[in-house]
């Protein structure tokens, strides 16, 4: 099976779990016997463009001639059986899907987020879930400036969604869509996308090369530090649960809210910020922690760090929202809390901190879930079978 993987890498200044998922998945495909080639563009390159070229970016978001041309050439050169798209924003644009369709090969796209349905890709506005654009032309997003808080920045994304909805790009050009969770799939179906073309294939993580400590201690949050991630609520909950520093909390990550969160945490006993850390360091931190905390306020797709935690047998405390409530089994692999509720989160933290028996039970459940549902063997085997099925259907006269 010859697979061409196409991905627009996100800016390095804004670390992306999606980039890591693509890297992992590509490596696993090669390990499972696929011949894989990658075609990538990097958003970091935009900063080095001359101003005249930068001025063309809004138009390229809607239709990129370069993205179309590069995709067409790569397919012809590699003679792929399947083209697997991940992110096309902003440099490939959905024009690359048309290039793939016209080549005659099977076309697969992973829906890592909700960008075709929501210009911000998050279904989040003013810190709350918003579905005003779901299944509709994205005029509300322009009115509210949902992408980066700017109407001007939102217009190209809204135009991209509207134009390609009218062209039928996703309906006509993609043979199979892969959603990382049943929740993500359900939102696309709600927006009117084809039920038959949407399947679920969970994200994964490589087998942990780190053994879990016999005496895990403290809690860990690995997150982009931005409002929708709920870290501010976590700090409020921490103050309630452990006012005298009875436990430790390590926060790893960076983002637009980092300075404000560090200021908020001043005087909170037991809280440490580590900044952005490598994956190896994340795994070392996970191996020593009692639980991972994912207090998100928005519809996460499938945070890769949850798969990494489960691979080490680390339970996860997550918000009961979107796919998170599907990935984590309450009382078996972790604990679910109401999103944005500092009281509920504080109760979960105190409950897990005070019960070694519960911690051990959840650890065992976490590792079982990884082996059964989220491990690299199960997920990659499913992905290859989806490729084979789709390629055979496209090849039929």
pLDDT recorded at residue 15 = 63
Greatest Cα pair distance, the chain, in angstroms, is 70
pLDDT of 241-261, one tens digit each? 999 999 999 999 998 999 999
If you classify domain 219-374 with CATH, what class do you get?
Answer: alpha beta
Stronger pLDDT, 254 or 212, i.e. the higher one: 254
pLDDT of 364 above 90 = yes
Q: How far out from the chain centre does Cα 379 lie?
A: 16
pLDDT of 305-321, one tens digit each? 999 999 999 999 999 99
d(CA 1, CA 388): 8
Q: Which residues contact 50 (CB under 8 A, 6 or more apart)?
A: none
d(CA 281, CA 278): 5
Model confidence, pTM: 0.93
Looking at domain 2-204+376-395, which of 3.40.50.720, 3.90.550.10, 3.40.50.2000, 3.40.50.1000 is its CATH number? 3.40.50.2000
* Average pLDDT value for the chain: 95
Domain ranges of the chain: 2-204+376-395, 219-374
Strands 35-42 and 249-252: unpaired
* Portion of the chain with pLDDT greater than 70, in percent: 99
d(CA 312, CA 81): 35
d(CA 110, CA 176): 9
Answer yes or no: same fold for 2-204+376-395 and 219-374: yes
pLDDT of 280-298, one tens digit each? 999 999 999 999 999 999 9
pLDDT recorded at residue 397 = 60
Rounded average pLDDT over 125-150: 94
Please report which residue ranges of the chain form alpha helices under DSSP H. 17-31, 51-54, 57-62, 65-78, 95-103, 139-144, 151-167, 169-173, 182-190, 231-241, 258-265, 279-288, 304-311, 324-327, 342-354, 356-369, 376-395
pLDDT of 184-201, one tens digit each? 999 999 999 999 999 999
pLDDT band at 127 (very low <50, low <70, confident <90, very high): confident
Rounded average pLDDT over 109-116: 96
pLDDT of 22-62, one tens digit each? 999 999 999 999 999 999 999 999 999 999 999 999 999 99
Decide if 381 contacts 375 (C-beta within 8 A): no
pLDDT of 55-83, one tens digit each? 999 999 999 999 999 999 999 999 999 99
Rounded average pLDDT over 157-177: 97
pLDDT of 350 above 70 = yes
């Amino acid at each position: 099976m010859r697979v061409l993987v196409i991905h627009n890498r996100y800016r390095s200044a804004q670390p992306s779990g999606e980039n890591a998922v693509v890297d992992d998945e590509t490596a696993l495909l090669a390990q499972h016997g696929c011949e894989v080639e990658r075609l990538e563009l990097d958003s970091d390159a935009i900063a080095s463009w001359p101003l005249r070229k930068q001025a063309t970016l809004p138009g390229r978001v809607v239709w990129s001639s370069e993205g179309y041309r590069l995709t067409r050439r790569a397919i012809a050169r590699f003679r792929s059986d399947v083209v697997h798209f991940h992110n096309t924003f902003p440099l490939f644009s959905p024009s690359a899907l048309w290039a793939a369709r016209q080549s005659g090969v099977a076309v697969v796209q992973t829906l890592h987020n909700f960008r075709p349905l929501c210009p911000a890709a998050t279904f989040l506005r003013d810190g709350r879930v918003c579905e005003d654009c779901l299944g509709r032309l994205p005029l509300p997003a322009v009115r509210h400036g949902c992408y980066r808080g700017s109407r001007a920045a939102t217009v190209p994304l809204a135009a991209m969604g509207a134009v390609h909805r009218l062209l039928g790009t996703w309906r006509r050009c993609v043979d199979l869509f892969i959603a990382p969770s049943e929740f993500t799939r359900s939102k696309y179906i709600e927006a009117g996308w084809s039920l038959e073309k949407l399947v679920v294939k969970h994200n994964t993580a490589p087998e942990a090369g780190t053994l879990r400590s016999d005496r895990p201690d403290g809690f860990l949050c690995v997150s982009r530090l931005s409002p929708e991630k709920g870290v501010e609520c976590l700090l409020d909950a921490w103050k309630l649960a452990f006012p005298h520093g009875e436990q430790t909390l390590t926060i790893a990550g960076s983002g637009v809210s980092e300075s404000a969160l560090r200021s908020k945490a001043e005087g909170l006993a037991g809280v440490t910020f580590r900044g952005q850390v490598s994956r190896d360091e994340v795994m070392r931190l996970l191996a020593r922690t009692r639980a991972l905390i994912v207090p998100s306020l928005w519809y996460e797709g499938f945070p890769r760090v949850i798969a990494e935690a489960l691979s080490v047998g680390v339970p996860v405390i997550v918000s009961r929202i979107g796919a998170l409530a599907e990935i984590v089994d309450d009382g078996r692999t972790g604990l679910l809390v109401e999103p944005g509720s500092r009281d509920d989160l504080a109760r979960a933290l105190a409950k897990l901190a005070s019960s070694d028996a519960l911690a051990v039970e959840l650890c065992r459940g976490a590792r079982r879930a990884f082996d059964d549902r989220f491990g690299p063997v199960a997920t990659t085997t499913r992905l290859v079978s989806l490729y084979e099925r789709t390629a055979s259907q496209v090849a039929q006269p």
